[in-house]
Structure 1
Amino acid sequence: MSPTLRAAADGNPLPDLHIGDAVADAVDWITDNLEGLLDGISAALTFLVDLISSILLGPPPLVMAVIFTVLALLVRSWTFALFTIVGTLLIISMDMWEPAMETLSLVLVATLIALVIAVPVGILAAQNDTVSAVVRPVLDFMQTMPAFVYLVPVVIFFGIGVAPGVCATIIFALPPGVRLTELGIRQVDRETVEAGEAFGGTSRQILSGIQLPLGLPTIMAGVNQVIMLSLSMAVVAGLVGAGGLGQEVVTSISRIDVALGFEAGLSVVILAIYLDRLTGAIGQPTGRALLTKLTSRRTAAKPAVGAGV
């Protein structure tokens, strides 16, 4: 029976459409025809996460705790450094250091890939109203779709493991990076941009010398949101075998283990606060000054072209 006749028989004047069937057919086509590509993506994502995880877990936990504390002191303040050392020592004492670093590695990989996509798209949307109009409903769809829905197709594409967790995290965390990058560039004073054009600056020079530096606080707010959403989704990704603190939370639920669940949740909170304060500080004048100083030192250390000739 056709959709129209079936709808009429049910007393529904509208056709009985099943959009989900079309989506399922599309997923089946991708898995049947792009298996090699999916395997390559899965291997690359797993390799990156394992690489960063091995780097974070290579030194002793106390050494890494000191490194995180020094970074907090340089970027923000001694109070933030105090919180960092207390928080990291608490994670170590709860025997949650290894899953915490696994979660951090997943978040870093997902955030990096999301920003590589989000920042250029946000710049393009800020410079072209047509692109902005096309991208906006896509971002609305990505943000309003429940997080658990993303886990269904990625498990079909990549199976159980790290790769589906990273892919679902990228999709879930990407929208605020695009939106706030576009907002940061659009809110730059038009007169400042016109002054740069009057001095003969090209579009690329104006973007890199005026719009991006002035819009950096808003862009960094987008980076902050991407990291926070990545962390929240990384925990949910424990349901598909992504490992880390998410796996500990899933295990605590399956065992009804309140102690394990609380310790894993507390570790997530500490990690979230650290990443939030750290990325938030980079967008502030103190953090930007530190980045400028480090960049200038690195530039000064390079020999000038033609030196010694």
Structure 2
Amino acid sequence: MKTLSFLCLVILGILTVYPFQETFSAEKTTFINFGATQSSSAYFPPRVAIAKIINREVPEVRVTVVESGSTNDNAMRMIEGVFQMASGAVDTARDVYWGRDRWKDKRWTKMRLFSGLSEGRLLTYVRRDAAIRSFSDITGKPINPGFMGSDAEALSMKIFSALPEIKPVIVRGTMEDSMKNLSLGKIIGMVKQSPKKVYDSGMASVHVQIPLDIVGLSKQQAEKVRTKFPEIAFSYISKGQYSESPMSGDFWVVGSINGHWVSSDIPEELVYKMIKAVYENYNEVIAAFAPAGWADPLKMVIEAAENASAEAFCPFHAGVVRYLREKGIRVPKILIPPEYK
């Protein structure tokens, strides 16, 4: 018995000095909560694909995809430390990094860009049977400005504030509720961030049941918005550009890059491995979201930043800059973070 008691004490002492190997391994694993978007969005599957690539190729990192309210919700959770990685508009990352607009009192300089995903367009979808022929026609009509917490919602409200003569009845809600309300005719329109060549998949599913058209701003309206919000970029939509609505077009819509952010708290070495893994296995992301294949996820950001002003962008993470320079790709000064050496 004495011998057994002695052995137990020895074993206890060893465990105190040398913890279980599993515990040691867990301490070496970096856990990342990746804020995506609502699971019904076409933008959700590519985020799942990115997490799968990282988890498979970078064993010291464990990424968990979390359904969220999208861009602004993700930004707030990044600031709070709930998310260490998130999806959203490159423009929102810029506003958070520089403390602009709604982020004026919440400036967060740890925000970093990880990559782009696709060049998007902010489309205003309207029921064809509502006989809406122009953006001005939505005045007095019930419309969802973008599901709650999304970049679409924030941009829509900026546009309406710059064009006070256009006064729709704002009906807020989740993406699912808004799509249902659109199908039932409780609202006549919905604003949704979409790929630059095709309808958003959620809107396409509604379109099959209830034909939808898209409307946009006139050149004069777009210029008026730009006067108040010079950071907003517009893209021209020609007639027939969207095959789902061949008669829609000859107007301007907000253009943006939908992408991914990470916190500067994640070490450079890990982000370097993460972006390398994603970039070199990008065919898996394209398989989950075809528009991801229309432009290079890193070069689209670089090209947009080429002639931009000093405060027009949030910088890349140092690990991303390292990877780009390793590949011989020039990185504009405004995309290089202060910690990069």
* Fold match (TM-score > 0.5): no
Greater strand fraction, Structure 1 or Structure 2: 2
Greater helix fraction, Structure 1 or Structure 2: 1
- Per the shorter chain, which TM-score range? under 0.3
Q: Give the TM-score, by structure 1 length.
A: 0.24
